[in-house]
Amino acid sequence: MKKYIIGLFSAICLMGAGCTEFEDFTPVDMGEGPAVTVTAEKTAVDAFKVTITPAEGTVYYSYIVTDEAMTVDPDQLLQAKYEGSTLVKAAEKPSVSGTLSNQNLGATYYVYAVASNEKGVCGAVASASVELPDEEAPYLVNVPDGNKYKATNGGRSVVLTFNETVVRGSGAITYDVTKGNLTSYANGTIESVAINNESVTITLPESVVFDENEAVSYVFLDFAEGAFADAGGNQSAALVGGVDEETQTVAAPYWEYTAAQESDFTGTFGFLFYQYDLQTQQPGSTPMGFDTEFSLKHANNPDTLVIDHFYFKDGYPNQLEAEVTDNGFRIADLQIMGVMQVETNVGMVNAIFTFAGLPESETDNFEYVNFAEKAQGDEVVYAQDRWCGLYCFNADADPSDSNFSLGWYDLWNASLFFKGSVQAAAANTNIPSSIKLLKNEMKLSEMKPLSATEKLHMQSLIRQNLKMKSIR
């Protein structure tokens, strides 16, 4: 600082009269800047405490905490020119102290601080450092109850999550496939392990063939010590697979494989319905019908169904999903079927077609239409528990607009499913190949499907609209 002050006085002398006797000039001693004490103390595996205390006479002080060693310029630090640095007024906060948690293991952290007095003179930069060695072995997180995981890849893979990024270690990973009574029928070493940071996918060898005669099979994994390691070289602990005979618990990941199951709801199902006359507001009396195809969404889970070719069959791969219940199945309201251009009182719009059940009251929420089993003569049918049909929304409008909700395009005052084909069961039914939408006769092939992302977006818009008003 002194040389800056000397330079300033020299410039003044050059401008002043008679100021030519430089040897008589005596520089002003501004003194030393105030000192600052810095400490950094480890308080936990991933935490440390920092304390910064400037000496008496400090007006301002500044500090920075970083995981990189730096050559710090005191003036730059005092002006908080370094990214992450903090300037403090000593009169308001004579000392700074705090604990930094959740820091990176294996890193060294550095603290730099400097103080200045009322003359603006900086003292020396003080520093401290603290190491946070990575001494903790990687371990599994998000572990389900009892270590029972949900399998992927048709029951052949499982995804595990560690608390940190891992790599494959030298420890062996083995598997044991058992029957429901825990009798082993396949075992060996896992060779296929895919790692993506903390996520580990373990897949059974292709040679493993599940016994489809067993309703349930179990896959137990066993991990030797060091099966995985972290960046610090810490090795994962051993996890012993299988059921402990004494405690009857499982200490390592395992999963259940369910053999493909038979279902009453597969194959061709006819759908009969009576169209409510929206103009005369009278229930329909002429039966209509079409054929659908039922299948299981997952081969080893009979509880979720897929209904293909519902209503729109020609040229459009339409699907609905249904859940099996104790006495039949149910279809969730407002499942999006597709988009088609239709003529409305506001012109041509892109209409979102959904399957929906008619709410029983203005305050009733959209949930499900239940199709419950009942006997109809010698036939078993699954009949609706409330009116249902196709409800449309304006894909071109905002959910808050009055014309977003377009209304019912087809409403059924009675409908039912039955096993078998409509053509074979009821010669007097009509198979629709087109549908009258307001003023236009629209061909079903003009219906456009939506991607999963588009469906989610449209469903979000519909839900926003439902919060604003009833669509009954």
pLDDT mean over 146-154: 90
pLDDT, tens digit, 9 for 90 and up, residues 408-462: 888 999 999 988 887 666 544 444 444 433 334 445 557 777 777 788 888 888 8
> Residue 230 is part of a domain; what is its CATH number?
2.60.40
pLDDT value, residue 30: 54
Phi, psi of 154, rounded to the nearest 5 degrees = 65, 30
Burial bucket for residue 394 (CB in 10 Å: 0-12, 13-18, 19+): buried
Q: Are residues 93 and 220 in the same domain?
A: no
pLDDT mean over 45-71: 94
Q: Which of 258, 276, 294 is the last residue of a domain?
A: 258
Q: Are residues 271 and 380 in the same domain?
A: yes
pLDDT value, residue 136: 86
pLDDT value, residue 31: 65
Pairing label, strands 192-196, 199-203: antiparallel
Q: Whole-angstrom Cα distance, residue 251 to residue 143?
A: 11
**464: nearest Cα among 405, 388, 391, 396:** 405
Whether pLDDT at 73 is above 70: yes
**160: nearest Cα among 187, 177, 140, 134:** 140
Least reliable range by pLDDT among 142-151, 316-325, 409-418: 316-325
Q: Whole-angstrom Cα distance, residue 353 to residue 351?
A: 6
Q: Are residues 221 and 78 in the same domain?
A: no
pLDDT mean over 276-285: 87
pLDDT value, residue 20: 39
Residue 331 or residue 458, greater confidence: 331
Q: Which range marks the domain in which residue 206 is found?
A: 140-258
Whether pLDDT at 6 is above 70: no
pLDDT mean over 189-215: 91
**387: nearest Cα among 308, 275, 311:** 275
pLDDT value, residue 423: 66
Range list of β-strands (E), 163-286: 167-168, 173-179, 184-189, 192-196, 199-203, 216-223, 228-229, 254-258, 267-275
pLDDT, tens digit, 9 for 90 and up, residues 264-273: 888 899 888 8
Does residue 332 lie within any of the structural domains?
yes
Residue 251 contacts residue 244 (beta carbons within 8 Å): yes
Q: Which of 114, 132, 150 is the last residue of a domain?
A: 132
Whether pLDDT at 3 is above 80: no
Q: Which of 258, 283, 309 is the last residue of a domain?
A: 258
Does residue 228 lie within any of the structural domains?
yes
Number of structural domains found in the chain: 3
Does residue 413 lie within any of the structural domains?
yes
pLDDT value, residue 425: 61
Q: Are residues 109 and 179 in the same domain?
A: no
Q: Are residues 174 and 127 in the same domain?
A: no
Least reliable range by pLDDT among 222-226, 294-298, 367-371: 294-298
pLDDT mean over 171-197: 94
Does residue 21 lie within any of the structural domains?
no
C-alpha dist (Å) from residue 2 to 20, 25, 71, 121, 306:
21, 14, 22, 10, 85
pLDDT, tens digit, 9 for 90 and up, residues 383-412: 999 999 999 999 989 888 888 988 888 899
Q: Are residues 128 and 225 in the same domain?
A: no
pLDDT value, residue 287: 82
pLDDT, tens digit, 9 for 90 and up, residues 15-56: 333 333 435 545 555 568 999 999 999 998 889 999 999 999
Question: What pTM, to 2 d.p., does this model score?
Answer: 0.46
pLDDT band at 154; cut points 50, 70, 90: confident
